[in-house]
Structure 1
Amino acid sequence: MPDHQRKWTRRGLLVSVKAGGWWASHAQSPTVLALSPRLWRIYFAGRNRDNLSSILAVDVDPQDGMRVLDEHLDPLLEWGPPGSFDSTGLGPSCALTIFGRVHLYYSGVYPRNDVSFQIAIGLAISDDGLSFKKAFAGPVRGIGPADPYFVSTPFVGKTKYGYRMWYVSGTGWAQVNGVWEPEYVLRSCDSLDAIVWEAESIAVSADDLGDGISQTRPWITNEAGGMRLWYSRRGRDFRAGGKEAYRLFSRRMDTRNGTVGGAEPVIFSNPPAAGEFDSSMQAYCCIMQRPSGDVMFYNGNGFGEAGIGWATRDLT
């Protein structure tokens, strides 16, 4: 059976919310950096009592059942000053090591009066993966001709030509049950140094986009059959649950020409039951590959309201 068709086994909550101190709720957008074979650092967005997010982290041992080794539950990066692109929230999305330094790409949030938020993509750099300094006061990618509304949740990977960023691009806002909800697609752009990005971008082609269908949080893996794009998809009335709710998908991908396969749903051998933390939503996945099999970290109901879940699949 091809790797992408193998079912995943849900393992439950790995990181549960510990309300107390700064952290009051949520553990959204798990972003894993492999620091060594026995140390994976999971960055995530936790929220304070005012529902504003910042970047926290936990360390786990992937060779010991994801045993938690350490917790870093004070914000790793400060919000920007009033008027800046990240003045009211930060959320991690991709971390990679470039020339010995950790590059953490994040979504910066700032408020608007007409809709609920604006988002742009920032970059912070660290020598130890914990003490971060912003590369710039402004974003490394913001709104522009190809991205008129907002950009967020990037994945950055090394390519033959330098680096490529796959990211979410807002296409507008729609009123759903009296609330303005964002709509978005996936796009990609290139860079020679993973810092300065080309102004142009291309759409990540997909045939599953319809009225109100949106895609978010891209993640790329390299498999025996080539590259694979993982992402979350939801309908316009996603807060009602059911078929409109967030679900996880993957697609076979060509490096330069976008996706070339059909949308394939992530299938669990033990699907969530009513009342479980991920019963109505599975989203924002991060896939880590290891010889014994792949590991998925993801969010469940309420955008990670209970914490971070994980699942595995055996490829042997």
Structure 2
Amino acid sequence: METVKTFEWEKRRLLFSPARDAALDWMDAFAQAPSVLERDTYVRIYFSCRPKPVDGRYVSYSGYVDVDKQDFRILRVSERPVLELGARGTFDEFGVYPFSAIDVGDEVHAYYGGWTRTVSVPFNVNIGKAVSRDGGQTFERVGPGPILSYTLDEPFILSGPKIRRFGDVWYLFYIAGREWILDGARPEPVYKIRLATSTDGVTWEKQHRDLIDSVLPDEAQASPDVFFEDGRYHMFFCYRDATDYRKNPERTYRLGYASSPDLLHWTRDDAVMKFTRAEAGFDDEMVAYPHTFTVNGKRYLLYLGNEVGRAGFGIAERKEGTT
């Protein structure tokens, strides 16, 4: 197989922070899991955020920020979440995060993680679907339940959906929980990247296997972001140790890389992804949840910094890689 060029990046900076829109009561901190739709003159970036906690508990909403295609100047932020929280007792009663959207004719289809609270562990997640008929400003659920849920070999935490269409096939990359590990008294989840395929975007066939080999003893993987370039498929993702990752930069989220000839079989080579935490700033402890896109022939990387995006999300431009 031909050697993959490295992905090197420059001009990294904080692109959007929830602090700039303090008047919005649904957005106090965090701007997580950015995902892009390109428009004629602007780029729409969906992200997930949290209002101030109530009794120490958060909920998560998803909205968008539109930025100019030439200089990435912020043009507007959604005044309300694009999808309200689910009804009492539903899988997404307490959170819509993360959020991945795709154009389908005149509609925009979105796949998202729906969060609910639990007792023995902090949360559980299933994957839901919603559709927009106003250009992606507001969405309606296709139904009150999830489109992808737990099975015998995936007993909890189905989340992190990234929707793609290649040819006539829909590909839904996601993460599935493997186990909960106690970090002191706090349960921490371990999850792996998986894949489901579909011919209509509604009925899904799971592949029932992990896509990416682990390099850590108890490795949690997240945010599988896939694109096609130079005759092969590429995946950016993030990974961390299962425990002691919240305050320890040596064990927290970092970015990984894998490539594939067919979207089913992946070869991991993290050295290809040349992007680590900064020496100072909002991303000097971690980099996480990558999303890449191209505008005007240039490839960009959106990503989260410290505390999984508490200050917002950043952007970087790709430099020419070397073999």
Match for residue 48 of structure 1 among 35, 51, 69 = 51
The answer on 1:166 being equivalent to 2:166 is no
Evaluate the alpha carbon distance shift between residue 4 and residue 100 of structure 1 in structure 2; reply closer, same or farther with a 3 A threshold: farther
Aligned to 1:150: 157
Identify which range, 66-75 or 302-311, moves more after superposition.
Answer: 66-75
Contact 1:26 1:46 in 2 (8 A): yes
Contact 2:256 2:269 in 1 (8 A): no
CA distance in 1, matches of 2:314, 2:105: 31
Cα deviation, 1:177-206, whole Å, max 9, x if unaligned, reads 2210011001111111112212x3232433
Contact 1:278 1:300 in 2 (8 A): yes
Query: Once superposed, what is the RMSD of the aligned Cα atoms?
Result: 2.0
The answer on 1:290 being equivalent to 2:295 is yes
Contact 1:219 1:287 in 2 (8 A): yes
Contact 1:3 1:315 in 2 (8 A): no
CA distance in 1, matches of 2:224, 2:248: 22
Q: How far has the Cα of 1:290 moved from its partner? A: 3.3
Identify which range, 153-162 or 202-211, moves more after superposition.
Answer: 202-211
Aligned to 2:6: 5
Identify which range, 129-138 or 238-247, moves more after superposition.
Answer: 238-247
The answer on 1:129 being equivalent to 2:120 is no
- The one-letter amino acid paired with 2:38 is A
CA distance in 2, matches of 1:292, 1:162: 25
CA distance in 1, matches of 2:194, 2:202: 17
Cα deviation, 1:69-113, whole Å, max 9, x if unaligned, reads 111142111111111000001113321111221011111100001
Cα deviation, 1:155-194, whole Å, max 9, x if unaligned, reads 1211345211110000010001221001100111111111
Cα deviation, 1:264-294, whole Å, max 9, x if unaligned, reads 36324x95113x1011111111100235321
Aligned to 1:243: 250
Evaluate the alpha carbon distance shift between residue 81 and residue 258 of structure 1 in structure 2; reply closer, same or farther with a 3 A threshold: same
Identify which range, 297-306 or 17-26, moves more after superposition.
Answer: 17-26
DSSP-derived class of the 1:240 partner: coil
DSSP-derived class of the 2:307 partner: helix
- The one-letter amino acid paired with 1:68 is I
- The one-letter amino acid paired with 1:251 is A
Cα deviation, 1:217-267, whole Å, max 9, x if unaligned, reads 111011104100110010122113232110011111232532124333632
Aligned to 2:16: 15
DSSP-derived class of the 1:202 partner: coil
Q: How far has the Cα of 1:208 moved from its partner? A: 2.7
CA distance in 1, matches of 2:44, 2:263: 30
Aligned to 2:90: 84
CA distance in 2, matches of 1:84, 1:4: 45
**Paired residues, number:** 311
Aligned to 1:30: 34
Contact 2:233 2:263 in 1 (8 A): no
Can you give the 5+ residue segments of structure 1 that lack an aligned partner in the other structure?
none
Cα deviation, 1:48-78, whole Å, max 9, x if unaligned, reads 1122110111101122x21111111421111
Evaluate the alpha carbon distance shift between residue 133 and residue 234 of structure 1 in structure 2; reply closer, same or farther with a 3 A threshold: same
Can you give the 5+ residue segments of structure 2 that lack an aligned partner in the other structure?
none
Evaluate the alpha carbon distance shift between residue 261 and residue 213 of structure 1 in structure 2; reply closer, same or farther with a 3 A threshold: closer
The answer on 1:97 being equivalent to 2:103 is yes
Contact 2:287 2:304 in 1 (8 A): yes
Contact 1:43 1:92 in 2 (8 A): no
Contact 1:146 1:201 in 2 (8 A): no
Contact 1:8 1:266 in 2 (8 A): no
CA distance in 2, matches of 1:315, 1:80: 44
| Residue correspondence of structure 1 range 101-250 to structure 2 within 5 A | 101-127=107-133, 128-198=135-205, 200-237=206-243, 238-250=245-257
Evaluate the alpha carbon distance shift between residue 61 and residue 140 of structure 1 in structure 2; reply closer, same or farther with a 3 A threshold: same
Q: How far has the Cα of 1:6 moved from its partner? A: 3.6
- The one-letter amino acid paired with 1:138 is G
Q: How far has the Cα of 1:211 moved from its partner? A: 1.9
Contact 1:293 1:315 in 2 (8 A): no
Aligned to 2:313: 308
Identify which range, 68-77 or 107-116, moves more after superposition.
Answer: 68-77
Identity value in percent: 29
